[in-house]
């Protein structure tokens, strides 16, 4: 049994190695990677289908690496190990997990014992193990009254990039009125409309800017996600010149 540990911090990587060795005395080899691209290369060259993956790394993130690993090897079992339970990260993972995949999502604040149990549960016992705090975020995103729909989450990224209604409509192949309807639903769910007017002054905030600020403070947006959307936008603009 071979396992790949992907973590860009050397101390955390050493901690993970010790926990994995304690949890799995039957393992044969442990590979280590300090970046998502290195992890992908190791997967291509070796037969391991077991990965412990940090989410936030400087070059290629854990989400990007996991997406490619699952594309290459859909049966790979990945235990995500992260400081973050923000909705942006939780949604990022939910979008790439193959149907029927066994995986885990554990916060770095968990005890070493919890980590070892998660390692055995995901890699040996066919268990999907999700940290309680992360599961709470998952349930909120699945609640249609509280969580954002995929369409609302999409338009949130669009305004975070500074796109106009007409540009969003063109890119999404919808009417301007349809875009404005999505924005209205987004503002309602973020609690913006009720707080955006003063009897004397009128609008207090620029709605788009305020929505992005609220989303950032709630962890609905993160730098990696915005950068990925910018890359997609650049490709779209190049193709539609």
**Tens digit of pLDDT at every position of the chain (241 positions):** 899 999 989 999 999 999 999 998 888 899 999 988 999 999 999 878 899 999 888 777 888 899 999 999 999 999 999 887 777 778 778 888 888 889 999 998 888 999 999 999 999 998 888 888 787 777 666 655 456 788 888 899 999 999 999 999 999 999 999 999 999 988 888 888 666 677 777 778 888 999 999 888 887 887 877 887 888 888 889 888 7
Give every CB contact of residue 98 below 8 A, 6+ residues apart in sequence: 70, 74
- Going along the chain from its start, the domains and CATH numbers come out as 2-142 (3.40.50.2300), 150-239 (1.10.10)
Task: Identify the pLDDT of residue 163.
Answer: 93
pLDDT of residue 11: 92
Tokens matching residue 214: 């609220």
pLDDT of residue 152: 87
Place of tokens 């070892």: 116
Say which residues have a Cβ less than 8 Å from residue 59's Cβ, sequence separation at least 6.
35, 36, 37
């Amino acid at each position: 049994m071979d396992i790949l540990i992907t973590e860009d911090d050397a101390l955390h990587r050493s901690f993970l190695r010790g926990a994995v060795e304690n949890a799995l005395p039957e393992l044969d080899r442990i590979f280590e990677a300090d970046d998502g691209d290195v992890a992908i290369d190791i997967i291509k060259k070796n037969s391991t289908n077991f990965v412990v993956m940090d989410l936030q790394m400087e070059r290629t993130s854990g989400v990007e690496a996991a997406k490619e690993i699952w594309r290459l090897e859909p049966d790979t079992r990945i235990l995500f190990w992260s400081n973050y339970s923000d909705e942006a990260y939780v949604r990022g993972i939910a979008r790439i997990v193959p149907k029927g995949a066994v995986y885990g999502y554990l916060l770095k604040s968990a005890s070493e014992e919890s980590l070892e149990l998660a390692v055995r549960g995901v890699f040996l016992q066919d268990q999907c193990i999700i940290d309680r705090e992360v599961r709470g975020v998952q349930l909120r995103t699945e609640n249609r009254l509280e969580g954002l729909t995929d369409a609302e989450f999409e338009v949130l990224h669009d305004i975070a990039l500074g796109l106009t209604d007409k540009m969003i409509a063109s890119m999404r192949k919808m009417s301007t009125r349809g875009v404005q309807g999505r924005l209205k639903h987004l503002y309602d769910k973020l609690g913006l409309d009720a707080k955006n007017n003063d009897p004397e002054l009128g609008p207090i905030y620029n709605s788009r800017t305020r929505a992005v600020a609220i989303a950032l403070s709630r962890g609905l947006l993160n730098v990696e996600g915005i950068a990925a959307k910018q890359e997609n936008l650049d490709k779209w603009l190049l193709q539609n010149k």
